[in-house]
């Protein structure tokens, strides 16, 4: 009964440990997030009312791009050194193992974005009242972005230059997350109730957690052939 759970936890611990050894690689997507976001005031204009109007959209698009950027490496090294094959051969169910991998990836690449969000929100003069919705939206949305990214990464891992292709495949699928997430923050800024889009995001996340690992597992098995 507890065997799948131990498998999940072992995989999670192993992935976190391996990732922490390459700490500087973890920082790159975060740095990318901060830099991209700070380009917008430079390109547009630093007027607070304009920035507050654009803020939710800019933060969400930047979070989406930063997640995408970090996705290419999720399976790459394991694919090259044969570790992925061992995961596929192991008696633990592959979808669960991949869910552990996605969880580890989210903890290291998604969660820091959520932590940085209040800082960025301050840079964009978002009202304090919108902050809880922004954080809640990102907490629900970024795991979904990571999950969708794993499908794309699994499909393109055996290709030599899969990075751009990965974005092409996954970006259209991420549209609903972007719409609900950015709109929820926008609504919170205008004092409307945001339970609707947040519940929708939450239900999408549940759907993603239950279905996406199976698609990723199928894609991994195809890539390993």
Partner 1 sequence: MWTWFHKLGSPPHFFRISGALLPWISSIAFLLMVLGIYGGLVLSPADYQQGDGFRIIYVHVPAAWLSMLAYVTMASAAGVGLVWRIKLAHAVAASCAVPGASFTFLALATGSIWGKPMWGTWWEWDARLTSELILLFLYLGYISLRNAFSDVSKADRASAVLALVGVVNIPIIHYSVTWWNTLHQGATVSKMAAPSISGSMLWPLLVSAIGFTLFFVALLFTRTRAEILMRERRTKWLTEVLEGT
How many angstroms separate the first and last alpha carbons of the chain?
31
Q: How far is the CB of 168 from partner 1 (least distance, A)?
A: 5
Tokens of 185: 């923050």
Cα dihedral sign, 182-215-95-100: negative
Q: How far is the CB of 10 from partner 1 (least distance, A)?
A: 27
> DSSP string spanning 130-158?
GHHHHHHHHHHHHHHHHHHHHHHHHHHTT
Q: Which of 194, 74, 184 is nearest to 138 (CA)?
A: 184
Stretch that binds partner 1, among 6-14, 43-51, 52-60, 214-222 (CB under 8 A): 214-222
Stretch that binds partner 1, among 63-71, 82-90, 116-124, 172-180 (CB under 8 A): 172-180
Number of residues that bind partner 1 (CB under 8 A): 27
175 near partner 1, judged by CB under 8 A: yes
Stretch that binds partner 1, among 10-18, 51-59, 117-125, 165-173 (CB under 8 A): 165-173
Region of residue 193 (phi > 0: left; psi between -120 and 50: alpha; otherwise: beta): beta
119 near partner 1, judged by CB under 8 A: no
Residues 6+ apart with CB under 8 A from 73: 25
Q: Interface with partner 1 by CB under 8 A: which residues? A: 151, 155-156, 158-159, 162, 165, 168-169, 171-173, 175-176, 179-180, 183, 200, 204, 211-212, 215, 218-219, 222-223, 225
């Amino acid at each position: 009964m507890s065997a799948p759970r131990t498998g999940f936890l072992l995989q999670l611990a192993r992935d976190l440990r391996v990732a922490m050894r390459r700490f500087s690689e973890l920082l790159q997507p975060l740095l990318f997030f901060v830099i991209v976001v700070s380009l917008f005031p430079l390109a547009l204009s630093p007027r607070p009312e304009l920035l507050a109007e654009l803020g939710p959209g800019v933060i969400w698009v930047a979070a989406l791009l930063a997640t995408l950027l970090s996705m290419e490496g999720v399976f790459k090294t394991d694919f090259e050194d044969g570790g992925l094959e061992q995961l596929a051969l192991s008696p633990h169910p592959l979808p669960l193992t991949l869910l552990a991998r996605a969880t580890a990836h989210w903890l290291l690449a998604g969660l820091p974005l959520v932590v940085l969000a209040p800082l960025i929100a301050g840079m964009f003069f978002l009202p304090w009242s919108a902050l809880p919705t922004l954080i809640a939206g990102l907490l629900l949305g970024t795991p979904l972005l990571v999950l969708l990214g794993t499908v794309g990464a699994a499909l393109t891992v055996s290709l030599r230059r899969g990075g751009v292709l990965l974005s092409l495949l996954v970006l259209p699928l991420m549209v609903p997350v972007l719409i609900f997430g950015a709109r929820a923050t926008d609504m919170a800024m205008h004092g409307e109730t945001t339970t609707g889009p947040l519940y929708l995001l939450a239900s999408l996340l549940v759907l993603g957690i239950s279905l996406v690992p199976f698609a990723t597992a199928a894609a991994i098995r195809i890539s390993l052939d």
